[in-house]
Amino acid sequence: MTDMGKGMAMARAWIGVLLVLLASGGCSKGKDPSESASIDRKVDELLRKMSLEEKVGQMTQVTLQVVAKDSAHDELDPEKLRNAIVNHHVGSILNVVDAAYTLDQWHRIITQIQDVALKETRLGIPILYGIDAVHGANYTRGATIFPQNLGMAATWNPELMRRNGEITAYEVRASGIPWNFSPVLDIGRQPLWPRLFETFGEDPYLASVMGAAYVKGLEGDDNRVSRPDKVAACTKHYLGYSFPLSGKDRTPAWIPENMLREYFLPTFRAAIAAGAHTVMANSGQINGVPVHASKYLLTDLLRGELGFRGLLVSDWADINNLHFRDRVAASQKEAVKLAVMAGIDMSMVPEDFSFYELLLQLVREGEVPESRIHEAVRRILRLKFELGLFDNPYPNPALKEKFGSEEFRQVALQAARESITLLKNEGELLPLPKTARILVTGPTANSLSCLNGGWTITWQGDREEFYPQEKLTILEAIREKVEPQNVRFVPGVTFDRPLDVKAAADAARGVDVVIACVGEPAYCETPGNIVDLTLPEAQLQLVEALEQTGVPVVLILVEGRPRVVRRIVDRARSILMAYLPGLEGGQAIAEVLFGEVNPSGKLPITYPRYPNDLTLYDHKYSEANGPYNRYDPEWPFGFGLSYTTFEYSNLTVAPSRIARGDSVTVEVTLRNSGQRAGAEVVQLYLSDLYASVTPSVRKLKRFQKLVLEPGEEKTIHFRLGEEDLAFVGRDGRLQVEPGEFRITVGPLSAGFELVNR
């Protein structure tokens, strides 16, 4: 069996594990009860010794800038550090000052911080350090960098996602950091949103599978995060952050309760069932209520209904934002009270000690009960014990051995390969012969930053000078595949303005094929806001000029969200969606272009055809019921071509009639009918034909990725239970109604009926 084939088998097993977790409806099992009781005793004993000031300090998290020297981004100021830890009893620190550090720099920083905490404070409570390692250990130089989550979702390979988590955990812990602010479990249903690339796409089931696999990669099967190569996961941003009405980051979302539960809650439910230790709150607001001030969302729903028992941390400055931005609190002090009483355990303040000072006042004045402080601090201390920080909070030098290793790089390269999605291949232009004369052009052709996007070395990921020069851009990777004299490079345009379009068009007339690399520069969060999904005019004009030459054009889309390219689609011969494929992306793209890799990626989003037609795949029947209402994307969710072909046959659904509590078995045969080996993602969709809440046309319920040799066929088996037929009813509760259902797999469909016993 090939490595990819082994991965597919493990991926099938992982989906089964997820279904068990979801069915359990609670936290991951398997923790030693005696060990848990022992930690409880240690926490209680420590709490009894702590002063109010020490407890409130544990709830306070500041950024590294607060304790750093102004003159050097990797040096700490001893007096500032003591002021934070000794005087203000700060329990947690996060972030970098400017850019990623080397392992040695991290070790020096973490050691200096923990020395003060352990040797200069009364109780010696270690610091909990956190970092946003969202696609690898992206704030450590030389780390293994993976595709951003949208690209990982395009692999439809949970085992690869799990390996991503394992490697990220290893390299984050190798840096001396035990807490990772990841994964992003927001659902990408608003394509304008600048953080779309951080999501696993628009579908709750796909995102739940991938997210739970990543949590297990970070934390391990039994979630024993005290292991030296594991970290605590922090699922974010609970809840509904990714659906702002305007599409702009941190602007209001308007989400009805049943929609919130149907689409935005399942990923967090799955991650909590998988044992995730921590959660970060949504920075925005839903229906006019900031999530940081919502006791319903943060306590009643998260803890009461989902059963979450871990640490809940705020997002950056969002408690202060209740006063300064959201204006639901008349003062910073009131904002602190609102957030703490709503359920926030730790405040990412993050640039001063205002939270500490104000919360002390609130407790002393009786506005916040000390019992609430004890509750929060107990969760913080428990996490520190579970991470093994009380035994040894210092970096482990032994983990340097595999950091940034070739073994890890190969996994990131495989992830990039499997993410790339072939959207068009007219006349089988691809793969290209290595003898072809090629023009490479466009703003994403010779840049590493655009392959990685935000959260890479720096916050915005746009500092090209910091990227490792041994990594290959798309242009450099193409040049390694062919004779150098056969490749010309003319940029043509920047991301948003022309340079010399005529020069690019003239150069095209002397080659066999043009590879036009278009898309977006690196960005992250609010600086990535846009007002139009359309690809910038300069890039469209470049491609149009190239297409007018009559030379075949291959489009490579390097982008964190689906920029509308309608004007240049029809005349392009081939189109590859690369997403943000990471540091190995250039090599992976070149391997696909020249046929060394057969593309197998499938879209985890609907790719819109028009800027104002953003209908998603699981739309309601009324959204696609005639010539004026259609699901008419450029490319649909789940779409992706291959250099081979696949045939589906023999779909059976049995029995055709089931009662409540029963299940149906679905079988389908897949055959590779082409001339080369390839991977196909078999996708099972369920349609509820009639329901008391308008049903979606279809919803993804299962998938399986298989590798088949030419002529090989396999029969795939799925099982659907009653829980798969459920929907959120008018009362906001999950319910199942008798009626007719239809299963669709590939081009085939079959029905069954659910009846009351």
Q: What is the pLDDT of residue 253?
A: 98
Residue numbers annotated as active site: 315
User: Where is average pLDDT lowest: 65-74, 237-246, 692-701?
Assistant: 65-74
Asked if residue 67 lies in contact with residue 87, where contact means CB atoms within 8 angstroms, the answer is no
Question: Which amino acid is residue 174, in one-letter code?
Answer: A
Asked if residue 484 lies in contact with residue 409, where contact means CB atoms within 8 angstroms, the answer is no
Asked if residue 268 lies in contact with residue 187, where contact means CB atoms within 8 angstroms, the answer is no
Q: What is the pLDDT of residue 1?
A: 42
Asked if residue 660 lies in contact with residue 756, where contact means CB atoms within 8 angstroms, the answer is yes
User: Where is average pLDDT lowest: 9-23, 156-170, 697-711?
Assistant: 9-23
Q: Which two tokens stand for residue 187?
A: 């659902």
**Mean pLDDT calculated for residue range 614-641:** 95
* Domain boundaries along the sequence of the chain: 3-401, 420-614, 646-755
**Any residues with CB less than 8 A from the CB of 131 and at least 6 apart, and which?**
94, 95, 96, 137, 139, 172, 175, 177, 179, 180, 181
**Mean pLDDT calculated for residue range 132-137:** 98
Instruction: Return the CA Rg of the chain.
Output: 26
**Mean pLDDT calculated for residue range 681-709:** 98
In this structure, whether the domain defined by 3-401 belongs to CATH 3.40.50.720 is answered with no
Q: DSSP character for 231?
A: -
User: How far apart (Å, rounded) are the C-alpha atoms in residues 384 and 125?
Assistant: 9
Confidence band (pLDDT; 50, 70, 90) for 21? low
Interior CA angle at 10 toward 4 and 13, to 5°?
150
Residue 346: strand pairing partners: 313
Q: What is the pLDDT of residue 401?
A: 97
**Mean pLDDT calculated for residue range 390-406:** 98
CATH pick for 646-755 out of 3.20.190.10, 3.20.20.80, 2.60.40.10, 3.40.50.1820: 2.60.40.10
Q: What is the pLDDT of residue 628?
A: 87
Q: Which spans in 83-200 are helix H?
A: 103-119, 149-155, 158-174
**Mean pLDDT calculated for residue range 167-191:** 98
The neighbour count for residue 701, using CB atoms within 10 Å, is 16
Residue 575: strand pairing partners: 424, 555
User: How far apart (Å, rounded) are the C-alpha atoms in residues 510 and 609?
Assistant: 32
Question: Which amino acid is residue 149, in one-letter code?
Answer: N
Q: What is the pLDDT of residue 10?
A: 52
The neighbour count for residue 207, using CB atoms within 10 Å, is 27
**Mean pLDDT calculated for residue range 228-238:** 98
Q: Which two tokens stand for residue 313?
A: 């941390």
Q: Looking at the predicted structure, is the pLDDT value of residue 22 above 90?
A: no
User: How far apart (Å, rounded) are the C-alpha atoms in residues 328 and 270?
Assistant: 31
| CATH architecture entry for 420-614 | 3-Layer(aba) Sandwich (3.40)
**Any residues with CB less than 8 A from the CB of 105 and at least 6 apart, and which?**
74
Q: Looking at the predicted structure, is the pLDDT value of residue 464 above 60?
A: yes
Residue with tokens 């072909």: 645
Q: What is the pLDDT of residue 29?
A: 44
Q: Looking at the predicted structure, is the pLDDT value of residue 442 above 50?
A: yes
**Any residues with CB less than 8 A from the CB of 470 and at least 6 apart, and which?**
none
Q: Which two tokens stand for residue 306?
A: 């989902």
**Mean pLDDT calculated for residue range 459-488:** 97
Share of the chain above pLDDT 70, in %: 96
**Mean pLDDT calculated for residue range 329-342:** 98
Per residue in 529-576, pLDDT tens? Answer: 999 999 999 999 999 999 999 999 999 999 999 999 999 999 999 999
Q: Looking at the predicted structure, is the pLDDT value of residue 137 above 90?
A: yes
Q: DSSP character for 176?
A: T
Write out the E strands in 166-214.
Answer: 179-180
Distance separating the N- and C-terminal Cα atoms of the chain: 45
pTM score, two decimals?
0.96
Q: Looking at the predicted structure, is the pLDDT value of residue 357 above 90?
A: yes
Q: What is the pLDDT of residue 8?
A: 56
Per residue in 112-121, pLDDT tens? Answer: 999 999 999 9
Q: Looking at the predicted structure, is the pLDDT value of residue 259 above 70?
A: yes
Confidence band (pLDDT; 50, 70, 90) for 12? low
Q: DSSP character for 401?
A: G
Q: What is the pLDDT of residue 74?
A: 85
**Mean pLDDT calculated for residue range 317-328:** 98
Q: What is the rounded (10 degree) CA torsion for 406, 409, 415, 418? A: -60
Per residue in 196-215, pLDDT tens? Answer: 999 999 999 999 999 999 99
Confidence band (pLDDT; 50, 70, 90) for 17? low
Q: Which two tokens stand for residue 475?
A: 């242009």
Confidence band (pLDDT; 50, 70, 90) for 14? low
User: How far apart (Å, rounded) are the C-alpha atoms in residues 276 and 460?
Assistant: 27
Per residue in 293-311, pLDDT tens? Answer: 999 999 999 999 999 999 9
Per residue in 478-496, pLDDT tens? Answer: 999 999 899 999 999 999 9
User: How far apart (Å, rounded) are the C-alpha atoms in residues 449 and 582?
Assistant: 9
User: Where is average pLDDT lowest: 291-295, 452-456, 627-631?
Assistant: 627-631
Residue with tokens 């520190």: 384
Q: What is the pLDDT of residue 18?
A: 57
Mean pLDDT of the chain: 95
